[in-house]
A = this chain, B = another copy of it.
Amino acid sequence: MPPFRRVALIGLGLIAGSMALAMRRAGLAESITGHARSAETRAVALEIGLVDSVHATAAGAAAEADLVVLAVPVGAMASIAREIGPHLAPGCIVTDVGSVKQAVIEAVAPHLPAGVHFVPGHPLAGTEHSGPRAGFATLFRNRWCILTPPEDADPQAVARLRALWEAMGANVDLMDAPHHDLVLAVTSHAPHLIAYTMVGVADDLRRVTDSEVIKYSAAGFRDFTRIAASDPTMWRDVFLSNKAATLEILGRFTEELFALQRAIRREDGDHLHAYFTRTRAIRRGIIEAGQDVDAPDFGRSASDRGDSAS
């Protein structure tokens, strides 16, 4: 028997769609129902078989579910929680997939009735694409999913959600919400804002240099554009809802950048060389941690090279 009887996906974008496909493949839900604000998205989700049924309202989808997944932008969480709260079945587990956790807890928890288990979550997986057609069943494979249950969370609810994510291929970690938000500000939120900024600068200069910025993007800039192509609404909400930690990291970043700019201006080659040597070691740590492969591709896909290596 599947571990969940009826899963309700609120929001039917990349993450929810990938969850639906992963759950179907591993037989984790008897039925999956869904809601999206847009009628077109609902129709697509039904047509491509992500869900067994769709509802025009979030409350309709959430009623009678034993697992409700909030997969909407962080800024939309409060109103969804307010709407579904009165309709949730006792014992139901509510989780989310938002990129920040403290703001989501503040937005959602007050609207949930007693007897409903709220276990916030964040799968560290994504692509630059969005919408119901962007999902794929292996999106979470070997990626981390961080759960941030409150101290008084029901251990059995946490264990069931953990098992679900593991069955979808993810590795699961638990931590408290403020710590999650700081770690993600470093590993994700600040890098995204920086990438957006650099791509914006290049866009301004494009008028000067015609299409050369795009043409010669393989020299490093391309990796920034991939990051900066992520969903604008999701990222607006991330920055607004993890404001303090993001600004803290950006402050440190600006300080360091000024120090390096000064080293360039003063032609202090030793300072630059020492700095670049230190950062190189971090890359090795990431490869050893299994979060990337040590292949000389610099942005090419491995298959580009595989068929042509001599």
Q: Which residues of A contact B (CB under 8 A)?
A: 21, 25, 75, 124-129, 134, 136-138, 141, 143-144, 146, 173, 179, 182-184, 186-188, 190-205, 208-209, 211-230, 232-233, 235-237, 239-240, 243, 246-247, 249-250, 252-254, 256-257, 260-261, 264-265, 267, 269, 272-273, 275-280, 282-286, 289, 291-293, 295-299, 301-306, 308-310
Contacts and interface: CB of A to CB of B under 8 A. Distances in A.
Summarize A's interface: helix, strand, loop or mixed.
helix
A242 to B, nearest CB: 9
Contact of A190 (B198, B233, B292, B304): B198
A78 to B, nearest CB: 15
Contacts of A264: 193, 239-240, 243, 246-247
A227 B173 CA distance: 28
A232 B303 CA distance: 28
Nearest to A284: B229
A9 B284 CA distance: 29
B297 A301 contact: yes
Contacts of A194: 194, 198, 257
A302 to B, nearest CB: 4
Contact of A124 (B200, B218, B250, B267): B218
Nearest to A268: B240
Contact of A301 (B138, B226, B277, B301): B301
Nearest to A301: B302
B226 A226 contact: no
A107 B217 CA distance: 27
Contact of A282 (B124, B192, B199, B304): B199
A74 to B, nearest CB: 11
B138 A309 contact: yes
A286 B226 CA distance: 10
Contacts of A284: 229
A215 B289 contact: yes
B144 A215 contact: yes
Given A191-B221, A250-B261, A286-B214, A228 B280 contact: yes
A260 B308 CA distance: 43
A305 B218 contact: no
